[in-house]
Amino acid sequence: MISDYSSEKNKQDERLPGKDALSVSKICFNYGKKQVLHDVDIQVERNSFVALLGANGAGKTTLFSIITGLYGASSGNIDIGGQSLLTSTQQALSQIGVVFQRPTLDRDLTVLQNLLYFCQLQGIPSNTAKTRIDTALHTHGLAELKKAKITELSGGQQRRVELARSLLHKPGLLLLDEPTVGLDYKNRIDFVSRVKQLCKENGTGVLWATHLMDEVEDADYIYILHHGKVISSGRTTELREIHQHNSVASLFQHLTQNAQETSQ
């Protein structure tokens, strides 16, 4: 029986051979004198969907900021597709696609203009960019909206544009930081399903950060981040069986409460 994070981690390490889409090892981060991440270890296989669960303030966005190079870690290592973020920064970052928590589309431009601009920033040749954009528009159900300004789109449509944009340079790792905030239930679940399907089709590794428990399914591999520490990880259904909880929400509450009591 897996009863603690260290034994869960040993089991996890056995299932992750070869180069992962993402390997986070012993990452620590301080805001001044306050330590907000404590020896965080996370791995995302290629062609896999991994959920990072944590309440607001748990450290999810800080971790994403480190992975994307916005912050530098106090200690630890990050490899992206086998490339070190520290020593091969450009090669590592070039393999990442990101959907941020807050919308980052240019609202004065059309859908097509936003995608073209991103391709230019990525240095994608114009002919290749046109082909990829046409494919993306059809894949994400946006073909009829390509000439629409972002301000004319619903929240769910805007998120689909951001997802399409994040994949234009064919990244090996896709990071999504609370990507469904502000969407209704149907749009949230549809968006999760869309990401999982693309993960399977493209062989992309996905790290999905959320505090919404209904976005996690039994087959998903999860990490639970609490006050900057990974307190548990494993396949959702296995963790529920081990800790005898019939839902992700009750499992999360149980593990975080135990961690809180242990730290006091």
**91-145 pLDDT per residue, tens:** 999 999 999 888 899 999 999 999 999 999 999 999 999 999 999 999 999 999 9
Look at residue 186 and tell me if it is in a domain. no
Mean pLDDT, the chain, rounded, equals: 90
Look at residue 68 and tell me if it is in a domain. no
**Which of 226, 190, 187 lies closest to 53 in space, CA to CA?**
226
Distances (CA, A) of 191 to 27, 40, 120, 195: 29, 27, 26, 6
Look at residue 230 and tell me if it is in a domain. no
pTM of the model: 0.89
Q: What's the domain count of the chain? A: 1
pLDDT in tens, 146-166: 999 999 999 999 999 999 999
Per-residue pLDDT at 1 exceeds 60 = no
pLDDT of residue 9: 45
102 vs 72, higher pLDDT: 72
Look at residue 70 and tell me if it is in a domain. no
pLDDT of residue 264: 62
Spatial contact of 42 and 228, defined as CB atoms under 8 Å apart? no
Look at residue 257 and tell me if it is in a domain. no
**Helix H or strand E segment including 218:** none
Look at residue 250 and tell me if it is in a domain. no
**How much is the average pLDDT of 173-180?**
95
Spatial contact of 232 and 8, defined as CB atoms under 8 Å apart? yes
Q: Per the structure block, which two tokens stand in for 191?
A: 């968006």
- Residue 135: give the domain boundaries: 104-170
Distances (CA, A) of 146 to 66, 117, 137, 164, 170: 33, 13, 7, 12, 20
C-alpha 224/C-alpha 240 separation (Å) is 13
pLDDT of residue 18: 47
Look at residue 136 and tell me if it is in a domain. yes
pLDDT of residue 261: 80
**How much is the average pLDDT of 62-87?**
95
Look at residue 125 and tell me if it is in a domain. yes
Residue 105 CA to its chain's centroid (Å): 18
**How much is the average pLDDT of 25-31?**
96
